Amino acid sequence: MIGIVEPFRVASDLAERVATFEAACREAGRDPATVRRSVWVGAEPLESKAAYTAFVERHRSLGFTDLMTALPARGSWSTVREIATGLIPRLRAAEASSTDSNVGVAVAAAAPSRTPT
């Protein structure tokens, strides 16, 4: 088990843990690419479209297939809505032909249809 890692604070540790996991897979005779990998982080990626894109690119480059974030307690729901309705569909379309992924499913499903009061 890789364990819990805070990717925004120890990204190099995450890459090291992924490398260890992949080596263990190969040693056991399993192709690491066949293992679904998920990550759940705080709301930091939802601060901007650029932050979310960086989050997706970083974790996809490490082989993560399912990317989830917490929703912000307060703040700009318009940014969350833009990410859920505009950016995530574009990222999914770009990846559709190359991998099986669930980029943004949790955010898209949890994003409110109206601004909370």
DSSP E strand stretches across 17-113: 38-41, 66-69
Q: Note if the pTM is more than 0.85.
A: no
CA 66 to chain centre: 6
Give residue-wise pLDDT tens across range 78-98: 889 999 999 999 988 888 766
Any idea what DSSP says for residue 83? I
What type of residue is 92?
R
Domain count, the chain: 1
- Averaged pLDDT for residues 3-32: 80
Q: Count other C-beta atoms under 10 Å from residue 43's C-beta.
A: 16
What average pLDDT score do residues 24-33 get? 96
pLDDT, position 112 = 47
Give the per-residue pLDDT at 86: 92
The answer to whether residue 22 sits within a structural domain is no
Domain-located, residue 105? yes
Query: Among residues 78, 10, 8, which one has the least CA distance to residue 43?
Result: 8
Q: Which domain holds residue 101?
A: 36-110
pLDDT tens across 7-16, in order?
445 566 888 8
In the prediction, which pLDDT does 105 show? Answer: 44
Is 48 part of a structural domain of the chain?
A: yes
Identify whether 7 is part of a domain: no
| CA max distance for the chain | 53
Q: Is the dihedral of CA 43, 53, 96, 28 positive or negative?
A: negative
What 3-state DSSP class applies to 39?
strand
